[in-house]
Amino acid sequence: MGYKGVSGNHQINLKIMNLFFDCDINCVIYFKKKKRKIMQLKWSYLMTKFIAYLYDEYGDEWIYFEAFFDDTGNPYGKIHNTSETLDLKNKELKKTDFDSIVVDNFKITCELFLKSTPDCPQYFTITKEHLLNNFIREISNLYGTDWKYFNTFFEDSGEVAYGAIENTYYLRKKNKLTASSLKDRRFNINRKKWEEELSQKPEIFYVLKFTDSDFIKIGHTYREIEYRLYNYIFPNSSNEKKIYLNKNIDFEKSFIVNTNLTKEKIDDKLVQSLESTIKKEFKEYRFENEKYGKSSEILDNECLPKIIEFLKSKKQKLKYLDDYSGFKNGNEMKEYNLKEGIKNNVLSFYTKKNKPIVYLKNND
């Protein structure tokens, strides 16, 4: 899987596997005086503290860095020293950041449409810096309010750079673009790609068994189960705390089922999700009391063997979380993640709609 845009023809080849907090990354840092430095660090450090280290240690002397997986040598990403990067100094990096930051001298092709001649677009090839600071003013001086919008593409790859930029009152008033608006546009383009990819991802159904508890939790996700486990291992909302605080997931009795039902087909109601099927089949086992209320996703413990029997009768393969994660239980996973660095990230980087991932042991 690759992404283009951050450095022209350079592609970021992401591992089509789980990323581990303890995964070794080799970083090559390039400096202005034609020097370079090679560092080996953990993937967790790259994503949480490395940008701050570069600015604290080297200021503006570093030009860019490239990150590679130590075990395969495959590139993970490349980030340049820009004002956009500086804004990330005290934030956690996302995968999209490696494709959202574009260097100032990178070439952008602009396809300009005028109201007077809508069928005859004009083309300009300029740098990203020129697009940011001068292009709006120049075309406004040339065409006034006659220019309607322009499309933007990376010159080398032909891929969409920042989408279509329209001639609005706000833009005419400012007479220039902002670095943050361009970065947001890149992020949204990447998000759209991700959403399109997500629609084709299959449902992962899961069952969580808690030690010393009378209920189990069922659910589903279209991403890795690590993204969902966070809610139960680090409950944050008042409702999550009420149900899951001090609850320990028994990974030896909890499992996932990888289905072939895509999100797109489920959303379009062409097929029924496995989660919906289980909810209907076992609705009489809903676990109800004053503390937990009434939820179709919280079921009485006694139905667990019946769910397993039902899934096996449907030829579904169960993958238990101890084999999948390398941990025996949720407390062990929590302790590992706190030790490896997630403690500093839990509240500072995330919102309710943007939960972090919890990381697995690398058992390979």
With helix as H, strand as E and coil as C, how does the chain read? CEEEECCEEEEEECCCCCCCCCCEEEEEEEECCCCEEEEEEEHHHHHHCHHHHHHHHHCCCEEEEEEEECCCCCEEEEEECCHHHHCCCCCCCCCCHHHHCCCCCCEEEEEEEECCCCCCCEEEEEEHHHHHHCHHHHHHHHHHHHEEEEEEEECCCCCEEEEEEECCHHHHHHCCCCHHHHHHHHHHHHHHHHHHHHHCCEEEEEEEEECCCCEEEEEEECCCCHHHHHHHHCCCCHHHHHHHCCCCEECCCCEEEEEEEEHHHHHCCCCCCHHHHHHHHCHHHEEEECCCEEEEEEEEHHHHHHHHHHHHHCCCCCEEHHHHHCCCEHHHHHHHHHHHCHHHCCCCCCECCECCCCCCCCCC
Out of 6-15, 122-131, 266-275, least confident range = 6-15
Tokens found for residue 267: 């959303």
What residue type is assigned to position 10 of the chain? Answer: H
> Phi and psi of 81, rounded to 5°?
-80, 100
Among candidate residues 209, 296, 289, 284, the one with its CA nearest the CA of residue 242: 289
Distance (Å, whole) CA 223 – CA 254: 17
- Banded pLDDT at 100 (limits 50, 70, 90): low
- Banded pLDDT at 328 (limits 50, 70, 90): very high
pLDDT > 90 in the chain, percent: 49
Q: Are 262 and 201 in contact (CB under 8 A)?
A: yes
Mean pLDDT of 211-221: 94
271-283: pLDDT as tens digits = 999 999 999 999 9
pLDDT for residue 159 is more than 70:
yes
Tokens found for residue 151: 């499309």
- Banded pLDDT at 14 (limits 50, 70, 90): very low
Mean pLDDT of 21-28: 81
pLDDT for residue 240 is more than 60:
yes
Q: Cα dist. 96→3, 14, 47, 132, 263 in Å?
A: 9, 11, 12, 20, 22
Mean pLDDT of 243-249: 92
pLDDT for residue 8 is more than 70:
no
Stronger pLDDT, 152 or 364, i.e. the higher one: 152
- What does the pLDDT read at residue 158? 87
> Phi and psi of 319, rounded to 5°?
-120, 110
pLDDT for residue 322 is more than 60:
yes
284-299: pLDDT as tens digits = 999 887 666 778 999 9
Question: For all residues of the chain together, what is the average pLDDT?
Answer: 83
Distance (Å, whole) CA 199 – CA 268: 11
Give the length of the chain.
Answer: 364
Locate tokens 């993204």: which residue?
227
pLDDT for residue 183 is more than 60:
yes
331-360: pLDDT as tens digits = 998 888 777 655 444 444 444 444 556 767
- What does the pLDDT read at residue 361? 72
- What does the pLDDT read at residue 275? 97
**pTM higher than 0.75 for the full model?**
no
Tokens found for residue 292: 């937990």
Domain ranges of the chain: 2-100, 107-197, 202-344
Distance (Å, whole) CA 201 – CA 186: 23
- Banded pLDDT at 172 (limits 50, 70, 90): confident
pLDDT for residue 18 is more than 60:
no
Give 168's contacts (C-beta < 8 A, 6+ positions apart).
none
Distance (Å, whole) CA 220 – CA 302: 20
34-57: pLDDT as tens digits = 899 999 998 878 888 899 999 999
103-127: pLDDT as tens digits = 778 899 999 999 999 999 999 999 9
Most confident of 221-225, 248-252, 283-287, 323-327: 248-252
Q: Is beta strand 75-80 parallel, antiparallel or unpaired with respect to 107-114?
A: unpaired
Stronger pLDDT, 265 or 105, i.e. the higher one: 265
Give the CA count within 13 Å in the CB-facing half-sphere of 233: 29
- What does the pLDDT read at residue 230? 82
